[in-house]
Amino acid sequence: MPAERLPMRKIKEILRLKWDCGFGHRQIARSCGIASSTVGEYLRRASVAKLSWPLPAELTEAGIEQLLFPPPPVMPAAERPLPIWADVHLELRRKSVTLALLWEEYKEQNPQGYQYSWYCDLYRAWAGKLHLWMRQEHKAGEKLFVDYCGQTVPVNDPASGAVHDVSVFVAVMGASNYAYAEATWTQKLPDWIGSHQRAFAYYGGVTELVAHDNLKTGVTSPCRYEPEGNQTYLNLLAHYGTASLPGRVRHPRDQAKVEAGVQVVQRWILARLRNRSFFSLAELNAEIRRLLDDLNRRPFKKLPGSRRSQFEALDQPALKPLPLEPYVYADWLKATVQMNYHIEVERHYYSAPYQLYKKVLDVRLTAQTVEFLHKGQRVASHVRSGVPYKYTTVAEHMPPAHRHHAEWTPERLARWARESGPLTVQVVESIMGSRLHPQQGFRACLGVMRLGKLYSPERLEAACGRALRLDAISYKSIKSILKNGLDRQTVPANTPAPAPINHPNIRGSNYFLGGGSC
């Protein structure tokens, strides 16, 4: 039986092309713009009705239709019982159940019952009397529809007297129409994510898909063919093992299920709260939950049972289990690795591998951590810091030269110099103290350190003493003294002893040996 009857003009054209022109089924289908199976069905009916071409002149269009679609023979109701169409309608929502299967089961119990074509016609006639949102066929556990009510609810702040218009989130199960609703302060991403988590907990499981409108918290880039989802929202759905199904732009019928659910929530819950005053979100949600339970237990008018009973029979057994671990909310940003191999996140600077300089990374922010991802792979992770304009640096992220340089501090250099002797300490202090910043003298101090390994600590100590007496305090001078063996020679008696250096930038040995901090 064709899904719908063709106009009589097209039926006559099928018969003409077949019997007068001798066309095949595929040629007729292309010419008339219909399926070849439909062509075959109408030709079969014409053959059973013993029609021929040209059609008799006295045969009216009504007569042709009656011959092609004869009424079923009159039989006692006991011999040809009608199926319970409400049960058929609900069975079709189960996974893999088709009208052909239900007809076969019907015929097994009623051998004299209606044939398949009339069975389908009678069901479609019955289903056509239902409301649109009830006619849509959704498989059990397949889709959860989510949206916000257009209507808001005022909540009074008892402290300031201000009135906040809060939003109402609605979720509806596709097969059973089992509804969930809650109020949230906003429709922003944290509230959107939290509402999904609480909805999944309310249902005790997860559907295969979550259908939603093209709101910005769910879709960042609306597109008819490939809408781009919000990364945080997609991560939430991936955590729960489900997927996003955005509605098409300017196609409200895609969301007819949840639109009807929103309307029901507004009429049966929000309308009953219109004269109530609420002073907290928790108080409002407690009343919404009470009325929601009543709504889900209300019997259907045209179908057996209620939303709750149908949920327990259809959707609930087909839901996927909730994940064992709770979802951790995270914001996502994009940022570029700067020349100093750090990324600024909320006025704090976190390091990334220096090889990724100028690369754009995905930044994942949770309450405790900051993560950097490059092409989907995590390349850095830091404990989140609230201290502004400070640096959090991992040594492995630094270039080798910077990493080696960062291992040295004024305190460490002073401790090393102490192992050679007090004169070496004085040289190291003098080198660092003669610079505007102590770090500027690190390279010269490290050169002095290597001289101690190349010759010996004793010779280095003697060379430092000679350099101090000659006021030649530099890496090159000490290297020359050791290279020419001058450290083994006695300094002339008329050479004055080195006086303590008095300079505002020199901190003294006590500072580097534990008396100060940097």
- Encode pLDDT of 345-362 as tens digits: 998 999 999 999 999 999
| pLDDT surpassing 90 at residue 404 | no
The pLDDT score that the predictor gives to residue 513 is 44
Question: Where does the pLDDT of residue 462 fall: very low under 50, low under 70, confident under 90, or very high at 90 and above?
Answer: very high
**How much is the average pLDDT of 474-492?**
87
Rounded Cα gap, residues 453 and 169, in angstroms = 73
Question: Which DSSP helix (H) or strand (E) runs through 26?
Answer: helix 25-32
DSSP codes of every residue in 175-201? TT--EEEEEES-SSHHHHHHHHHHHHH
| pLDDT surpassing 80 at residue 228 | no
The pLDDT score that the predictor gives to residue 123 is 79
For 306, the 3-state DSSP assignment is strand
**How much is the average pLDDT of 217-242?**
67
Question: Where does the pLDDT of residue 332 fall: very low under 50, low under 70, confident under 90, or very high at 90 and above?
Answer: confident
| pLDDT surpassing 90 at residue 322 | yes
Highest mean pLDDT, choosing among 69-83, 92-106, 490-504? 92-106
**How much is the average pLDDT of 396-401?**
82
Question: Where does the pLDDT of residue 224 fall: very low under 50, low under 70, confident under 90, or very high at 90 and above?
Answer: very low
| pLDDT surpassing 70 at residue 37 | yes
SS3 sequence, 119-176? HHHHHHHHHCCCCHHHHCCCCCCCEEEEEECCCCEEEECCCCCCEEEEEEEEEEECCC
The pLDDT score that the predictor gives to residue 132 is 44
Rounded Cα gap, residues 274 and 289, in angstroms = 16
| pLDDT surpassing 60 at residue 304 | yes
> What CATH number should be reported for the domain whose range is 143-318?
3.30.420.10
| pLDDT surpassing 60 at residue 448 | yes
| % of the chain at pLDDT higher than 90 | 29
**How much is the average pLDDT of 165-184?**
92
Question: Where does the pLDDT of residue 386 fall: very low under 50, low under 70, confident under 90, or very high at 90 and above?
Answer: confident
**How much is the average pLDDT of 267-277?**
89
| pLDDT surpassing 70 at residue 257 | no
- Bridge partners, 343 (sequence order): 350
| Nearest CA among 367, 2, 401 for reference residue 11 | 2
Contacts of 413 (CB under 8 A, 6+ apart): 428, 432, 442, 445, 446, 449, 512
| pLDDT surpassing 80 at residue 338 | yes
Highest mean pLDDT, choosing among 94-98, 127-131, 251-255, 378-382? 378-382
**How much is the average pLDDT of 173-199?**
92
- Return mean pLDDT, the chain: 81
| pLDDT surpassing 90 at residue 290 | yes
Higher pLDDT, 50 or 304: 50
Measured torsion, CA atoms of residues 426, 429, 432, 433, in degrees rounded to the nearest 10: -100
| Nearest CA among 133, 123, 114 for reference residue 84 | 123
The pLDDT score that the predictor gives to residue 334 is 92
Contact 392, 350 (CB under 8 A): yes
Q: Work out the number of other CB atoms within 10 angstroms of the CB of residue 445.
A: 22
Question: Which DSSP helix (H) or strand (E) runs through 459?
Answer: helix 457-469
For 276, the 3-state DSSP assignment is coil
| pLDDT surpassing 60 at residue 131 | no
**How much is the average pLDDT of 44-67?**
85
The pLDDT score that the predictor gives to residue 507 is 54
Contacts of 350 (CB under 8 A, 6+ apart): 342, 343, 370, 372, 380, 382, 391, 392
**How much is the average pLDDT of 205-214?**
86
Burial (CB count <10 Å: 0-12, 13-18, 19+), residue 293: exposed
The pLDDT score that the predictor gives to residue 74 is 58
The pLDDT score that the predictor gives to residue 405 is 61
Question: Where does the pLDDT of residue 499 fall: very low under 50, low under 70, confident under 90, or very high at 90 and above?
Answer: low
The pLDDT score that the predictor gives to residue 139 is 80
